[in-house]
Amino acid sequence: MRKIQLLMLFVLSAIIFQGCKKDVVTSASTTSDQILAATINGTSWIPDDVTASITYDATAKTKSFDVVGTADQKRVRWSITLSDATTTTTNTFPLSTYRVDATDRVKMTYYTSADGTNYNQVGVVEPGSGSIIVTSIDPTKNLITGTYSMTAKKVNYNPDGSIASIETSQILSGTFTNLPYTFGASTK
């Protein structure tokens, strides 16, 4: 009987103690609503203007995935163009890693603007200095997810043609999460 009374006292104490705890507010969602983000030269960057598209060109037999994001007088742009037998008119894009190389298959660029209107390309993303990884695509909802990173290098020259300095801009830890895209196909 004594054990039952102690057990009841313990349970009652636990209930009272729980009632005195401070309420904790939790978010219903743990996913980010940032459809495109990166760290540019060490500073977090989330564009407020983003466009993305997948386009199939039947004449050239190519499929392209293009993205442009702009905010805070910075712009990131990339394009992947596929020209092989796997290219189709369907609203999909192959899940893969795409690297900047000596071809024009993957193009990545970084721009800045002094006035927020006229954007100037900052250097060049050389072969081996940029990549895009497409990790998932939902062609029903037109959403695509993956990561990206690049380093743009700008070489400044002296009047005699020698190198004065080299500036690098690093766009790292880039993500695109459930990025909405448009799809178009030309059949000319």
Question: How does pLDDT run across 7-65, given as a tens digit for each residue?
Answer: 444 444 444 444 443 332 222 223 346 799 999 999 999 999 999 999 998 888 899 99
- pTM (predicted TM-score): 0.78
7 occurs within a structural domain: no
User: Domains in the chain: how many in total?
Assistant: 1
36 occurs within a structural domain: no
41 occurs within a structural domain: no
For residue 59, the enclosing domain spans 46-186
> Is 110 in contact with 149 (CB distance < 8 Å)?
no
pLDDT the model gives residue 86: 61
24 occurs within a structural domain: no
8 occurs within a structural domain: no
